[in-house]
Structure 1
Amino acid sequence: MDNRNDFYTQKGYELHSTDDLTASMEDYLEMICRMLKLNDVVRIQSLSENLHVKPSSASKMVTALKDRGYISFQKYGYLTATEKGLDAGNYLLYRHDVLHEFLCLLNHSDNELEQVEKIEHYIDRRTVHNLQMLLGELKSSTSFFQ
């Protein structure tokens, strides 16, 4: 199907998306999985602090992720990722790392966090995979960076 002329606004693309997670949900799940690499459980308070949001906002998003089967609650307000959540979260961390490494290499910098956070939700798995392959090629080619 030729869709070169099927232009939408950003909101239009979001409305046509079949993804289960919104960009905000991805941010929360990514942070939960990042935090779970350091601890066995995550608390709402520490999640909200890491994302610089109010605990009430974090609580609402955690409920939405729980309702979709990505996380579960345990005693004392602890949350963990389900198998589905870990699968999705590990991909989100991978996508973040690929983009960050690529942009740092491209821009000769050591921190491109803001750019990564702004664009990571708008590229698909194929593009991430191809960026990873390109990154490997660029890193092995010394002429590109001299």
Structure 2
Amino acid sequence: LATGGEARLVDIARRLGVSHPTAVKSIRRLKREGLATSLPYRGVFLTEAGRALADRVRARHRIVVELLCAIGVPPEAAEADAEGIEHHVSKTTLDAFSRFLTEKR
């Protein structure tokens, strides 16, 4: 969604590794929160607010991956581990990660 602009429910379910009903429920919640829309016989689209949120989530993920790689974690492991870490790190800690990475460059 964030990269292609449009996604089909079946593709969303497959990418997330969830059932079709779970994907429908999640998309319904995103639509209710104003983060996504859908068109009949088309797909699901992120709204401007949804794209902004996706950008923030991607940036957060990238910072965690870069930090893990900077301390010697192999890239594939860093990608996998970041999935869990990024959801439990405070903004203060994330900002510290970012400062560390900036100073390291």
The amino acid across from 1:114 in the alignment is A
1-side partners of 2:50 and 2:93: how far apart? 22
1:123 to 2:89 alignment: yes
Deviations 1:126-146 (A, max 9, x none): 3323211211222x3xxxxxx
User: TM-score, length-normalised on structure 1?
Assistant: 0.65
SS at match of 1:129: helix
Identity %: 23
Amino acid at match of 2:82: V
Runs of 4+ in 1 over 4 A off after TM superposition: none
Unaligned runs of 5+ in 1: 1-31, 141-146
For residues 77 and 125 of structure 1, what CA distance do their matches in structure 2 show?
37
Gaps of 5+ in 2: none
Quick check: which has more Rg, 1 or 2? 1
CA deviation after TM superposition for structure 1 residue 43, in Å:
0.8
TM-score normalized by structure 2?
0.88
Question: Alignment length, in residue pairs?
Answer: 104
Q: Please provide the CA RMSD for this pair.
A: 1.5
Q: Post-superposition shift, 1:114? A: 2.2
Quick one: higher RCO (CA 8 Å, sep 6+), 1 or 2? 2
Which residue of the partner structure matches residue 80 of structure 2?
114
Classify 1:136/1:118 alpha carbon distance in 2 versus 1 (closer, same or farther; 3 Å). Answer: same
